Structure 1
Amino acid sequence: MSRTPRKRRSTYRVLSALALLTLTAGAVTACSDNNSAPEHAASSSVTSSASPGAGRPAASKLHMITNDGHRLAFHVTQGDDRTIVLDSGGGEDSSQWKDLVPKLHADTGATVVTYDRAGLGRSEVVPGPWKVESAVSDLKAGLEQLGVTKNVTLVSHSQAGEIAHYFAKDNSKMLSGAVLVDANLPQFFTDEEIPRLVAATKPQIDAAKKDPDRPQNRQLISTAEGFTLAHKAFHKVTWPDSVPATVMVSEKTPLDGSPVDAQHWRDAAASFVQDGPGRTLVTAKGSSHEVPKDRPDLVLKEIEEMVATQR
Structure 2
Amino acid sequence: MTAKTPASAKLRRTAITVAAAAALTGVLAGCGHSGSTRSASSHPATTSSAAAKADPAAGRSTTGSPTGSPSAGTHMITDHGHKVAFHVIPGSLPAIVLDAGGGADSTYWKDIAPALAKSTGSEVITYDREGMGASDEVPGPWKVQNAVSDLETGLTALGAHHVVLVSHSEAGEIATYFARQYPGQLSGAVLVDASLPPFYADAEIARVAAANQAQVSALKGHATTKPERQLLAVAADYVPEHKAYHKAAWPTGVPATVIASAQTPFPTSAPDAQAWRDAEATFTKEAPNRHLVTAAHTSHDVPLDAPGLVEAQVEAMVKAVS
TM-score, length basis structure 1: 0.85
Q: Does 1:258 align with 2:269?
A: yes
Shift of 1:256: 1.1
Is 1:173 the counterpart of 2:172? The answer is no
User: Is the Cα–Cα contact under 8 Å of residues 46 and 78 in structure 1 kept in the other structure?
Assistant: no
Aligned partners of 1:29 and 1:92 also within 8 Å = no
Work out whether 1:43 is the aligned partner of 2:64. Answer: yes
Cα distance in 1 for partners of 2:233, 2:107 equals: 21
> Residues of 2 paired with 1:264 and 1:221: CA distance?
24
Letter of the 2:196 partner, please give it.
L
Query: What residue ranges of structure 1 are gaps of 5+ in the alignment?
Result: 1-12, 31-36, 51-59
* Aligned counterpart in structure 2 of residue 159 of structure 1, from 170, 177, 192: 170
Deviation at 1:106, TM superposition (A): 0.6
> Where does residue 118 of structure 1 map in the other structure?
130
Alignment of 1:293 onto 2:314:
no
What displacement does 1:17 show?
A: 3.0
- Kindly state the Cα deviation for residue 79 of structure 1 after the two structures are TM-superposed: 0.3
With 200-209 and 13-22 compared, the bigger mean Cα shift is at 13-22
Q: How far is 1:216 from its partner? A: 2.2
Task: Report the residue type matching 1:186 in the other structure.
Answer: P
CA contact (8 A) 2:198 2:246 kept: yes
CA drift of 1:176 comes to 1.1
Q: Give the paired residue count.
A: 283
Matched residue of 2:124: which SS?
Answer: strand
What residue is the counterpart of 2:18 in the other structure?
19
1:215 CA displacement: 1.9
The CA deviation string for residues 230-281 of structure 1, in whole angstroms up to 9 with x for no partner, is 0000000000011000001100110110011101100000000111220000
CA distance in 2, matches of 1:74, 1:39: 10
Pairing 1:71-150 to 2, within 5 Å after superposition: 71-149=83-161
TM-align CA RMSD: 2.3
1:9 aligns with none
The residue correspondences of 1:181-196 to structure 2 (distance < 5 A) are: 181-196=192-207
Query: SS in structure 2 opposite 1:309?
Result: helix
Q: Find out whether 1:223 has 2:227 as its counterpart.
A: no
Q: Percent identity of the aligned residues? A: 48
Aligned residue for 1:173, secondary structure, equals coil
Quickly say closer, same or farther: Cα 1:14–1:101, change in 2 above 3 A. Answer: closer
Name the residue aligned to 1:70. 82
Counterpart residue type for residue 18 of structure 2: A
Q: Which runs of 5+ in 2 are unaligned?
A: 1-11, 34-38, 42-47, 53-62
SS of the residue corresponding to residue 243 of structure 1 reads: coil
